[in-house]
Structure 1
Amino acid sequence: MNVRETDLPGIGKKFQVTTRGGDKLIIIIHDDGRREMYHFEYDDPDESISMITMDDDEARIIAAIVGGMTYVPKALEKVDMAFDELIIEWYKLDNSYAAIGKSIGELNVRQNSGAMIIAVVENHKKHVNPGPDFVIPSESTLVVVGEREQQKSFKQILLNGSG
């Protein structure tokens, strides 16, 4: 999906959405809270085939429905149950973290926190499922999975350089 955002001075904002399937939708959010949505012809992306106007309350209700707040499809319910309390966090590291320069094994991340580093991103390079010998680099982002308490323990390991 591709989303382009444009300021409309004196009016509000315009969002142009092109879905993976090639559908084009334009959403205009007016400064007064009104929303306009335009759906375009698939074969002629300049030809609007439908338009709807909503006030702020209506738009929020529609957003809740589309976003799955009022109904979760059965397939997604199973995924939610499987992950239940698990949280994925992204930690952007700078030189202030004591864990930098130490290996995952040296920090005993899993033993000391229960959390698991599932990826490290540095300088446009991805390391998926890094092993215990992987040394944590500065200016990188760690992707970590664990429950809330495990994430808190992991953050302390990052800050202190030990469990």
Structure 2
Amino acid sequence: MRIERTALPGVGIRYVFTTATGRHVGVIGHLSGRRELVLYERDDPETVFDAVSLDREEARHVSDLLHHDVTEDHLTQLERDSDGVTFTRIPITAGSPSDGAVLDLRRIRSRTGAAVIAVVRDGEVITPPDREPLRIRVGDTVVAAGPVPGITALSRFLASGER
């Protein structure tokens, strides 16, 4: 599937893809954190047919429903691309094979090319090496930095439950 990413200056980021049935679907991540799910007219992919606005929490729940293991959240205000480095948040959701896993931060960095720079748990920011070993659990959000391929590899690594 091809996903088009478009920066919307002063608004946020728009992602648009076409389903197997030919429907054009979009997600707009506003700088405020609000998300919109957008359906476009079948015969005119630039005309909005309908849209649903979601706040941050609603968007996280929908994301969890669509992908129950690990969801890479590219649409947060935290994400910024700067000189090839991407910062992102990866929530650990119910059913994740990473629930309870102890992260070997050096191994993750050498294997994926991305670095875990923090874990957010119950509103508290845990920054390695403050707490070694770093055990993650459902409800945590892994904050990572690295090149896009490294972030993707880290997401796959967390989704696999491999240690």
TM-score range, shorter chain: 0.3 to 0.5
Instruction: Give the structure with the larger strand fraction.
Output: 2
Instruction: Give me the TM-score of the superposition, normalised by structure 2.
Output: 0.45
